């Protein structure tokens, strides 16, 4: 009994060390800057989940960084006006489409024949987003365009309970996405992130 408990305790300790080391590695991979702010792509994709993401995507579209913008993951029935709220001056005259589930992102990219996209999302979400978009669209050139929410303090993250909780949650989701990868067949024209 003592030997079994010792093995269990040792295994648990080792797994905790590995998990913690992975968390530190994950946080170090969270971008602190936009590494390629100038490259033009055919499309911009903005997963919903933060108002700042949409504003950044619209600004990039207006600046001519891409031909079209796709907003992914909006609730059914939501319009662009709903998403921008009172900031209607931020609306472009064209070139914005909204998808209501993940499947539509890959289908939209394929339908337009695009081979490059700029992915606009929170810096804390970028590692998982890149992983899943690369899995779904291996033939598409991805340009990461993180935004930096003020409430997410990536440097010294362990000092801020909210940021620490958010990063741990993202790390767990990232691990689950890694675990899922061998069991999902994805391609550019197939399963999306």
Would you mind telling me the total number of residues written for the chain in this entry?
Answer: 193
Residue 67's alpha-carbon distances to 40, 44, 53, 94, in angstroms, are 9, 8, 18, 10
**177 is in which domain, residue-wise?**
2-183
DSSP letters, 118-172, are EEEEETTTHHHHHHHHHHH-TTSEEEEEEE--TT---TTGGG-HHHHHHHHHHHH
Residue 190 lies in a domain: no
Q: Which residues contact 137 (CB under 8 A, 6 or more apart)?
A: 106, 109, 117, 188, 192
Residue 188 lies in a domain: no
Structural domain count, the chain: 1
Secondary structure (3-state) at 115:
coil
Q: Which of 63, 48, 54, 68 is nearest to 114 (CA)?
A: 68
H or E segment and range at residue 61:
helix 51-62
pTM as predicted: 0.85
User: What per-residue confidence (pLDDT) applies to 189?
Assistant: 41
Residue 19 lies in a domain: yes
User: What per-residue confidence (pLDDT) applies to 100?
Assistant: 74
User: What per-residue confidence (pLDDT) applies to 116?
Assistant: 95
Residue 37 lies in a domain: yes
Give pLDDT tens digits along the chain (193 positions).
788 888 888 899 999 999 999 999 999 999 999 999 999 999 999 998 776 898 899 999 989 999 999 998 888 888 777 777 665 565 666 788 888 776 788 889 999 999 999 999 999 999 999 998 888 888 899 999 999 999 999 999 999 999 999 999 999 999 999 998 877 654 444 434 4
User: What per-residue confidence (pLDDT) applies to 105?
Assistant: 85
Residue 191 lies in a domain: no
- Residue 169 sits in a domain whose CATH number is 3.40.50
User: What per-residue confidence (pLDDT) applies to 91?
Assistant: 66
Residue 192 lies in a domain: no
Residue 101 lies in a domain: yes
Enter the tokens of residue 71. Answer: 């907003």
Secondary structure (3-state) at 57:
helix
């Amino acid at each position: 009994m003592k030997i079994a408990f010792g093995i269990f305790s040792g295994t648990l300790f080792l797994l905790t060390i590995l998990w913690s080391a992975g968390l530190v590695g994950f946080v170090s991979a969270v971008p602190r800057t936009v590494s390629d702010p100038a490259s033009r792509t055919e499309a911009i994709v903005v997963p919903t989940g933060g108002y700042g993401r949409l504003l950044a995507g619209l600004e990039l579209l207006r600046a001519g960084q891409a031909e079209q913008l796709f907003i992914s993951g909006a609730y059914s029935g939501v319009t662009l006006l709903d998403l921008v709220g009172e900031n209607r001056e931020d609306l472009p005259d064209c070139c914005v489409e909204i998808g209501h589930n993940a499947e539509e992102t890959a289908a939209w990219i394929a339908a337009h024949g695009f081979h490059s996209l700029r992915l606009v999302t929170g810096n804390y979400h970028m590692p998982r987003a890149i992983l899943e978009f690369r899995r779904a669209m291996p033939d598409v050139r991805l340009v990461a365009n993180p935004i930096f929410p003020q409430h997410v303090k990536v440097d010294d993250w362990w000092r801020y309970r909210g940021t620490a909780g958010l990063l741990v949650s993202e790390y767990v989701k990232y691990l689950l996405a890694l675990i899922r990868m061998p069991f999902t067949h994805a391609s550019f024209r197939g399963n999306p992130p």
